[in-house]
């Protein structure tokens, strides 16, 4: 192991090193993309990660634990939300990024499989919830900057704003099963900006 791989924080309890965990995550995400959640097996993950099946069972418990941990690790990246200088520009870039990632079949495969898995596995649902909660909390800086610039009223619910921008894209992808693209992304961003300006997001919502 290199010193980077054994640095504090990358060595997990139970001796699960960062390298092993990353190899397992890659195998899980590849397998989800290829076979979907119902078709993913511990055997597949063992074969594609080089980690023995008994080790996978011991450390992750099985497929549910493997999927949850892969998603947790996937969330530990250095992604940061767009910073274009305006609320509309930032929200549009955010929505376009989501549209682009889900219209690329290679990029879309694993996330789609995890969204599907959440219908069958409570652990996958919890992991998905945690992934998006963390992801959207990073996005809230978009709204904070907009408030500072005077583009959004103080007290605007940043979490609700960034979720509202993504919602129409996911809704058409996974519920109504309709095509999406940049025009829909731009429309979603413009709608939410209009809502922000009208003060809709300063009122209390459920979340």
Closer by beta carbon to a copy of itself, 106 or else 203: 203
CA 6 to chain CA mean position, Å: 26
Closer by beta carbon to a copy of itself, 28 or else 124: 124
Neighbour count for residue 112 (Cβ, 10 Å)? 18
The least distance separating a copy of itself from the CB of residue 177, rounded to whole angstroms, comes to 4
The least distance separating a copy of itself from the CB of residue 15, rounded to whole angstroms, comes to 31
| Degrees, nearest 5: CA angle 160-161-162 | 95
The least distance separating a copy of itself from the CB of residue 19, rounded to whole angstroms, comes to 31
The least distance separating a copy of itself from the CB of residue 92, rounded to whole angstroms, comes to 12
Q: Which residues bind a copy of itself (CB under 8 A)?
A: 36, 38, 112, 115-116, 118-120, 125-126, 128-129, 132-133, 136, 160, 163-164, 166-168, 170-172, 174-184, 186-188, 190-192, 194-195, 197-198, 200-201, 203-207
Closer by beta carbon to a copy of itself, 69 or else 157: 157
Closer by beta carbon to a copy of itself, 10 or else 89: 89
| Degrees, nearest 5: CA angle 103-129-47 | 70
The least distance separating a copy of itself from the CB of residue 131, rounded to whole angstroms, comes to 9
d(CA 2, CA 5): 5
d(CA 171, CA 169): 5
CB burial of residue 52 (10 Å; 0-12, 13-18, 19+): exposed
Query: In which element (H, E) is residue 141 found?
Result: helix 122-148
């Amino acid at each position: 192991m290199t010193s980077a791989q054994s640095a504090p924080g990358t060595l997990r309890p139970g001796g699960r090193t960062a390298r092993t965990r990353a190899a397992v995550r890659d195998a899980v995400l590849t397998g989800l993309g290829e076979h979907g959640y119902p078709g993913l097996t511990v055997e597949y993950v063992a074969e594609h990660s080089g980690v023995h099946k008994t080790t996978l069972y011991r450390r992750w418990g099985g497929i549910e634990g493997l999927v949850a941990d892969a998603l947790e690790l996937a969330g530990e990246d250095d992604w940061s939300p767009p910073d274009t200088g305006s609320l509309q520009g930032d929200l549009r870039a955010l929505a376009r990024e989501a549209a682009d990632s889900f219209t690329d079949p290679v990029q879309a495969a694993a996330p789609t499989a995890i969204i599907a898995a959440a219908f069958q596995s409570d652990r996958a649902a919890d992991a998905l919830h945690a992934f998006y909660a963390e992801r959207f909390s990073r996005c809230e800086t978009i709204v904070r900057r907009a408030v500072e610039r005077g583009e959004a009223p103080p007290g605007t619910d940043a979490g609700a704003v960034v979720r509202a921008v993504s919602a129409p894209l996911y809704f058409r992808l996974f519920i109504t099963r309709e095509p999406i693209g940049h025009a829909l992304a731009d429309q979603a961003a413009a709608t939410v900006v209009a809502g922000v300006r009208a003060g809709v997001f300063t009122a209390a919502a459920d979340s």
